[in-house]
Amino acid sequence: MKSQLFGLKILFCIMLVIAGVWMIILPLVSDLPTVRKRIENNRTAGINPTAVFYTDHPGMVDIERNIQARVDSSPESFWTFNF
Amino acid sequence: MDKHLNFQLPNNDRLEPQNSGAKRPWYQLDDILAMGLGILIIAVAAGTALVNRPDNLPKLVDSYQEAKSQLQQLAIDSGSFASDRKQILKLQSTLEAEMSPMPLKSWLMRPGEWKSDPRGAFQKNQKSILPSLIATFLVLLVCFSIVAVIQGQSGSKFALGFMGVFAIALLSYVLAGQEVVKHYNLEYALWAVLLGLLISNTVGTPAWLSSATRTEFYIKTGLVLLGAEVLFNKLLALGLPGVFVAWVVTPIVLISTYLFGQYILKMPSKSLNMVISADMSVCGVSAAVATAAACRAKKEELSLAIGLSLIFTVVMMVVQPFIVKASGMGEVIGGAWMGGTIDSTGAVAAAGELVGSTAKDVAATVKMIQNILIGVVAFGVAVYWASYVEPSETGQRPSILEIWHRFPKFTLGFLGVSLALSYLQMQGIEGKTLVSSIVDGTTKSVREWLFCLAFVSIGLESNFREYKKMLAEGKPLILYLCGQTLNLILSFLMAWLMFSKVFPNAASELLSK
């Protein structure tokens, strides 16, 4: 029972730290010029950096279409020969 | 308590009826239920997409074909190629969107991006997404409660636990949605495991919550759904050079790293060795999940491999673009190199964009081709494990029947779905847009939620001491570092060989405006 209460206190403290980091520190970090630039670049290019699989990436359809157009325009360069 | 990702040997004896000693009937087996549920979700997605297809579909198909011929004509007449091509590509994109109805998409969502106010995660285009999140919760709750009841569990107890596990998964998405965290690629998988670990290692996972920590089932159902995204016809997206960079180097690195781990490092766990090797050489989190399920790795082994992958991905997505630019290796070779080595697609695209748009396109395409490899890798690992690794542990030569008994059957569902949707994708633009409706409209969102629930469950069932033990001699870290070094060297050599010596015209074509 005593260790359960101790665990609860630890959990509460860590949750407070998480809230502080996410709601105070990280917003400040996101305003740093280099970080801001990176975020804006990704947004402009339609990139979701947390995409795990290719289908999770919102810009993938356009990338595929763009590459496909280039491969189709010169299949012999890519050795696809309309497979 | 067995902690392996194994349905025949379940980890949670409070939930699994077969632990009482009686063999479960076939319809209660997780592999069968995971395949059934996965295929049912895909069928519902396909049905709603077909019912909602536009009435003018034949006309849209004709317009699409016309745009395609115009694009081919432009390739012959290269005069005003760049601007005209962009216009036609945009038209194609609009037509494809019209042909791909996604009626369920707005009901299956996850929290979005925010900066300083976490409430921003629950809004999209200034509209609340709470009704969609509630709908997502209810859909998953109903599906998994039915499975729990079929397996002889109490539906109400499961539902209570599921509310808790879903709430932690939701919180993981909110943490991952903070813009700095998101743009530096610290994915939900990391926060889901850490939040679960935090609870299990402070107050302990309460019994009511344990009733819904179904790691194996969430993973297996998620993998069957992932099969819908493993489309083999994308293999030739970048022609033969893409195949060489993604499909020749990757298996060499995977096998070499595994052998290095076994014979040089003498890794104490074969499954940990395999999961790290696959996660590092193929495509990070998704490959780790697929391989861990195929070789019945421990939950802690899976989360350790994912943790290593995420940490190195953050480093590589920042460092590699600088190396590409400083060395002058060019956008095509640099893009192929980054695509073949950085673990996740989002990080690959972000790193490629720092070099240039061609680098981004090449890098993301190479990664996409590599993603397709996980179907083959998961199946190969499952066969190898059932035929050689598990029998060698018992010292007996197994019969075909024993191999079949040990074989994780859900991989057949994963591969079957993958082959069926690959075939559908090849049936012209109508097939392609139907696959898009199924995947982008439904299965992708469900699969992401299932993986997140699985990672929360892993955290809730794990202990920090296990990680301390695994990391004691630093072998997992050494394995990852050595394997990734080999990956970096071989991927660069192959990219250079393919795009500058064997297929130099391919590189010129990709760079042409």
Q: A15 CB contacts (<8 Å, ≥6 apart)?
A: none
For residue A49, give the chain B residue with the closest CA.
B346
For residue B186, give the chain A residue with the closest CA.
A50
- Token readout for A47 is 């990139």
Mean local confidence (pLDDT), B76-95: 76
Band the pLDDT of B6: cuts 50, 70, 90: very low
Quote the minimal CA–CA distance from B444 to chain A in Å.
7
Q: Is B204 on the interface with A (CB under 8 A)?
A: yes
B195 and B458 in contact (C-beta within 8 Å)? no
Mean local confidence (pLDDT), B179-188: 91
pLDDT over 80 at B222, yes or no: yes
Helix (H, G, I), strand (E, B) or coil at B201: coil
Q: pLDDT digit string (tens) for B299-341?
A: 999 999 999 999 999 899 999 999 999 999 999 999 999 999 9
Mean local confidence (pLDDT), B4-24: 44
Q: Which amino acid is at B16?
A: E
- Token readout for B260 is 């290095």
**E-strand stretches of B94-209:** 123-124, 127-128
Helix (H, G, I), strand (E, B) or coil at B69: helix
Helix (H) or strand (E) holding B187: none
B408 and B296 in contact (C-beta within 8 Å)? yes
Indicate the Cα dihedral angle B196, B200, B202, B207, nearest 10°: 120
Q: What is the DSSP letter of B123?
A: E
- Token readout for B91 is 């038209």
Band the pLDDT of B512: cuts 50, 70, 90: confident
Please judge whether A51 and B349 are an interchain contact, meaning their C-beta atoms are less than 8 angstroms apart.
yes
- Token readout for B115 is 């900066």
Mean local confidence (pLDDT), B463-486: 89
B301 and B470 in contact (C-beta within 8 Å)? yes
Query: How far is Cα B149 from Cα B342, in angstroms, rounded to an integer?
Result: 42
Query: How far is Cα B70 from Cα B476, in angstroms, rounded to an integer?
Result: 53
Query: How far is Cα B156 from Cα B145, in angstroms, rounded to an integer?
Result: 8
What integer pLDDT is reported at residue B73 of this predicted model? 76
Question: In the block, which residue shows the tokens 């943790």?
Answer: B307
In this structure, the number of other CB atoms found within 10 A of the CB of residue B502 comes to 14
Q: Is B509 on the interface with A (CB under 8 A)?
A: yes
What integer pLDDT is reported at residue B2 of this predicted model? 45
What integer pLDDT is reported at residue A83 of this predicted model? 45
Residue B113 to residues A33, A39, B31, B178, B344: CA-CA distances in angstroms? Answer: 19, 11, 35, 6, 19
- What radius of gyration do chain A's Cα atoms show? 23
Q: What is the DSSP letter of B178?
A: B
For residue A63, give the chain B residue with the closest CA.
B361
Q: Is B185 on the interface with A (CB under 8 A)?
A: yes
β-bridge partners, B128: B123
B110 and B448 in contact (C-beta within 8 Å)? yes
Q: Distance between alpha carbon B399 and the CA centroid of its chain, in Å?
A: 33
B433 and B57 in contact (C-beta within 8 Å)? no
Question: In the block, which residue shows the tokens 């690195």?
Answer: B253
Percentage of the residues of chain B whose pLDDT score is greater than 70: 93
- Token readout for B10 is 């379940």
Band the pLDDT of B493: cuts 50, 70, 90: very high
Band the pLDDT of A54: cuts 50, 70, 90: very high
Quote the minimal CA–CA distance from A8 to chain B in Å.
6
Q: B388 CB contacts (<8 Å, ≥6 apart)?
A: none
The domain ranges of chain B are 25-53+101-511
Mean local confidence (pLDDT), A18-37: 95
Please judge whether B202 and A52 are an interchain contact, meaning their C-beta atoms are less than 8 angstroms apart.
no
pLDDT over 60 at B7, yes or no: no
Query: How far is Cα B244 from Cα B492, in angstroms, rounded to an integer?
Result: 12
Q: Which amino acid is at B60?
A: L
* Nearest to B338, CA basis, from B491, B185, B156, B500: B491
Give the strand pairing for B123-124 and B127-128.
antiparallel
Q: Distance between alpha carbon B231 and the CA centroid of its chain, in Å?
A: 13
Average pLDDT over chain B, rounded to whole?
Answer: 89
Indicate the Cα dihedral angle A43, A44, A45, A49, nearest 10°: -10
Mean local confidence (pLDDT), B174-188: 92
Please judge whether A11 and B346 are an interchain contact, meaning their C-beta atoms are less than 8 angstroms apart.
no
What integer pLDDT is reported at residue B398 of this predicted model? 77
ipTM, 2 dp:
0.91
Give, rounded to a whole angstrom, the gap between the first and last alpha carbons of chain A. 68
B253 and B487 in contact (C-beta within 8 Å)? yes
Average pLDDT over chain A, rounded to whole?
Answer: 88
Mean local confidence (pLDDT), B461-486: 89
Q: Distance between alpha carbon B326 and the CA centroid of its chain, in Å?
A: 32
What integer pLDDT is reported at residue B147 of this predicted model? 95
Q: pLDDT digit string (tens) for B142-177?
A: 999 999 999 999 999 999 999 999 999 999 999 999
A51 and B480 in contact (C-beta within 8 Å)? no
Return the number of CB contacts < 8 Å for A and B. 189
Say what the pTM is: 0.91
For residue B237, give the chain A residue with the closest CA.
A68
Query: How far is Cα B170 from Cα B452, in angstroms, rounded to an integer?
Result: 9
Quote the minimal CA–CA distance from A16 to chain B in Å.
13
Q: Is B153 on the interface with A (CB under 8 A)?
A: no
For B78-112, b where at least 16 C-beta lie within 10 A, e where not — what string?
A: eeebeeebeebbebbeebbebbbbbebbebbbbbb
Q: B70 CB contacts (<8 Å, ≥6 apart)?
A: B88
Mutation site for B-interface testing, chosen from A31, A34, A55 by largest number of B Cβ within 10 Å: A55
Chain B residues with beta carbon closer than 8 angstroms to that of A41: 353-354
Q: B452 CB contacts (<8 Å, ≥6 apart)?
A: B110, B169, B172, B173, B188, B189, B192
Chain B residues with beta carbon closer than 8 angstroms to that of A78: 238-242, 503, 506, 509
Q: Which amino acid is at B108?
A: L
Helix (H, G, I), strand (E, B) or coil at A31: coil
DSSP secondary structure, B85-117, as one string: HHHHHHHHHHHHHHH---TTGGGS-----BSS-
Q: Distance between alpha carbon B34 and the CA centroid of its chain, in Å?
A: 17
Helix (H, G, I), strand (E, B) or coil at B374: helix
DSSP secondary structure, B303-361, as one string: HHHHHHHHHHHHHHHHHHHHHHHHHT--HHHHHHHHHHHSSSHHHHHHHHHHH-HHHHH
What integer pLDDT is reported at residue A69 of this predicted model? 84
Please judge whether A78 and B240 are an interchain contact, meaning their C-beta atoms are less than 8 angstroms apart.
yes
What integer pLDDT is reported at residue B77 of this predicted model? 63
pLDDT over 70 at B15, yes or no: no
B506 and B499 in contact (C-beta within 8 Å)? yes
Chain A residues with beta carbon closer than 8 angstroms to that of B361: 63, 66-67
* Nearest to B193, CA basis, from B169, B217, B170: B169
